[in-house]
Amino acid sequence: MLEVGIIHRDIDLLLYTHTHPDHISDLVPILFACKYADLPRKKDLLCAGGPGFKTYFRRLKEFYGSWIETLSYHLEIEEMSQAPTAFRDLTISSKTMNHLPESVGYRIEITNGKSIVVSGDTDYCRNIIDLAREADILVIECSFPEGKKAEGHLTPYLAGRIGLESRCKRLLLTHQYPICDEFDIVKQCKAVYSGEVILGQDLMRINI
Question: What's the rounded Cα separation, in Å, for the pair 27 and 16?
Answer: 9
Question: What's the rounded Cα separation, in Å, for the pair 205 and 52?
Answer: 32
- pLDDT tens-place values along the chain, 208 residues long: 899 999 989 999 999 999 999 999 999 999 999 988 688 999 999 999 999 999 999 999 999 999 999 989 999 999 998 789 999 999 999 999 999 999 999 999 999 999 999 999 999 999 999 999 999 999 999 999 999 999 999 999 999 999 999 999 999 999 999 999 999 999 999 999 999 999 999 999 999 9
Question: What's the rounded Cα separation, in Å, for the pair 173 and 194?
Answer: 14
Query: Which one-letter DSSP state was computed for residue 52?
Result: T
Give the CATH superfamily of 83-200.
Answer: Ribonuclease Z/Hydroxyacylglutathione hydrolase-like (3.60.15.10)
In the chain, CATH 3.60.15.10 sits at 83-200
Apex CA 89: angle with CA 83 and CA 91, to 5°? 20
CA 157 to chain CA mean position, Å: 21
Q: 18, 22, 144, 12: which is closest to 73 by C-alpha?
A: 12
Single pTM value for the model: 0.94
